[in-house]
């Protein structure tokens, strides 16, 4: 009878495989429970002190003055500034990124981090396991051999299968606790150059000095603790910070495990506060019904809405098609949607009423709002917003506006593929 029992056990195990796979898929695809149930009303504008007070208390952390914030456009400006900061590090480097791929720029970062670690600088690198799959096999061993502490976010293990859909999409670099960087750039050769052709992407990153750098450091430590179980503390990581400029800013982070709707709520509060203009640079623009209704409500109040999205040069075709499916409802009420032409458009920026600027890793889609760990720098400064609006309008000149008539006249096969892609919108 033992052989019968053995066969039953094997059969039961085989039969359990589909059940296990389905369970893992459900756990990953379901996402956190949706918390926001009703639309936000327009109560006050972004220039009202109450708006800034609410974002600093309802969603935390506080808005801090005294910051210097330098925008960096495309790899030709971004990478030299980041590498110069790394090479000048004296005490600590903390670095978190979603994408780190093989290539020349990946090698440069590796060599700079290795050199500093060998010089006695404490270097901590946090890589998303999925986003770093294209990294060469030499990089992590070389970093660790030099003394760099390297951790991977949600690597593939049987006990973490239910978390595989939760990635860290944050892009953070802090040097000596005094200089911080954030934005949309990944460590890959696609981000080099100046967006001059389809081989080199269009993107922005930001260099920060002043009190807000401590919040950027805290954002890194948030995921470092979750991944390594270790806390980074002391004045090498959190030195006393003094005014370095006159801009008010806060570093806002989100994670499904700490309230999955918090980043979406931040965006919805900004959209609901708009009274004149909303300018949105969106590498991946797949707004859900709730977010589209917020945009439509803003337009009904007389707000001008302009959106720049990628065109034919996009790294994720299904996202582009799912995005296009949503445009009709917005175009009908007067939203302006502009399609970037020269190369992949990877910028992530929101400018509201020439006063609030939100930049960082967050895309305008469900994955960023509810599934990924994200980080955005919110800047409350009219001069900075004016400069960012100028950069937005320079990108507009390299884009083509989509009209409602053009959207309605697209071929049936495009409509069909867009409809099919939209089925996966909750995961995009």
Confidence category of residue 295, pLDDT binned at 50, 70, 90: very high
Peptide bond into 61 cis (omega under 30): yes
Q: Which two tokens stand for residue 260?
A: 């999955």
pLDDT at res. 58: 81
Lowest mean pLDDT among 7-11, 107-111, 114-118, 145-149: 7-11
Q: Helices 289-300 and 262-273: crossing angle, nearest 10°?
A: 10
What whole-number distance in Å separates Cα of residue 363 and Cα of residue 352? 16
Q: Which residue has the tokens 């499916």?
A: 325
Q: What is the mean pLDDT of the chain?
A: 89
What whole-number distance in Å separates Cα of residue 50 and Cα of residue 60? 14
355: number of Cβ within 10 Å: 24
Instruction: Please say whether the beta carbons of 183 and 204 come within 8 A.
Output: yes
Q: What angle do CA 313, 389, 206 make, to 5 degrees?
A: 75
Would the pLDDT of 406 be above 90?
yes
Handedness of CA 267, 285, 282, 153 (dihedral sign): positive
What whole-number distance in Å separates Cα of residue 215 and Cα of residue 127? 20
Would the pLDDT of 163 be above 90?
no
pLDDT at res. 38: 72
């Amino acid at each position: 009878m033992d052989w019968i029992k053995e066969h039953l056990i094997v059969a039961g195990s085989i039969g359990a495989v589909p059940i296990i796979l389905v369970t893992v898929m459900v756990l990953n695809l379901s996402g956190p429970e949706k918390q926001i149930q009703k639309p936000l009303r327009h109560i006050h504008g972004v220039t009202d002190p109450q708006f800034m007070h609410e974002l600093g208390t309802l969603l935390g952390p506080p808005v801090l003055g005294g910051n210097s914030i330098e925008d960096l456009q495309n790899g030709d400006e971004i990478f030299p500034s980041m590498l110069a900061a790394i090479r000048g590090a004296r005490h600590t480097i903390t670095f978190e990124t979603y994408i780190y791929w093989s290539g020349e720029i990946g090698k440069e970062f590796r060599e700079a981090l290795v050199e500093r670690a060998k010089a006695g600088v404490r270097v901590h690198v946090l890589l998303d396991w999925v986003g770093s799959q294209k990294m060469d096999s030499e990089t992590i061993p070389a970093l660790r051999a030099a003394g760099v502490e390297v951790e991977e976010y949600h690597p593939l293990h049987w006990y973490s299968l239910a978390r595989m859909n939760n990635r860290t999409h944050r892009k953070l670099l802090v040097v000596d606790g005094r200089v911080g960087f954030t934005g949309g750039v990944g460590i890959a050769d696609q981000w080099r150059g100046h967006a001059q052709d389809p081989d080199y992407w269009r993107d922005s990153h930001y260099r920060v000095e002043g009190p807000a750098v401590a919040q950027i450091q805290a954002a890194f430590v948030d995921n470092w603790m979750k991944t390594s179980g270790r806390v980074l503390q002391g004045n090498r990581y959190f030195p006393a910070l003094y005014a370095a400029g006159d801009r008010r800013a806060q570093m806002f982070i989100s994670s499904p495990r700490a309230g999955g709707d918090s980043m979406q709520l931040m965006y919805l509060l900004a959209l609901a506060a708009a009274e004149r203009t909303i300018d949105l640079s969106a590498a991946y623009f797949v707004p859900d019904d709730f977010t589209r209704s917020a945009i439509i409500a803003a337009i009904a109040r007389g707000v001008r809405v302009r959106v720049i999205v990628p065109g034919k040069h996009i790294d994720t075709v299904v996202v582009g098609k799912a995005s296009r499916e949503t445009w009709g409802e917005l175009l009908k009420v007067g939203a302006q949607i502009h399609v970037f032409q020269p190369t992949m458009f990877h910028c992530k920026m929101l400018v509201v009423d020439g006063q609030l600027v939100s930049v960082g890793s967050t895309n305008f889609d469900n994955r960023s709002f509810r599934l990924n760990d994200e980080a955005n720098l919110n800047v409350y400064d009219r001069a900075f917003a004016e400069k960012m609006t100028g950069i937005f309008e320079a990108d507009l000149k390299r884009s083509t506006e989509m009209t409602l008539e053009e959207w309605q006249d697209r071929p049936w096969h495009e409509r069909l593929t867009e409809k099919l892609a939209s089925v996966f919108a909750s995961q995009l």
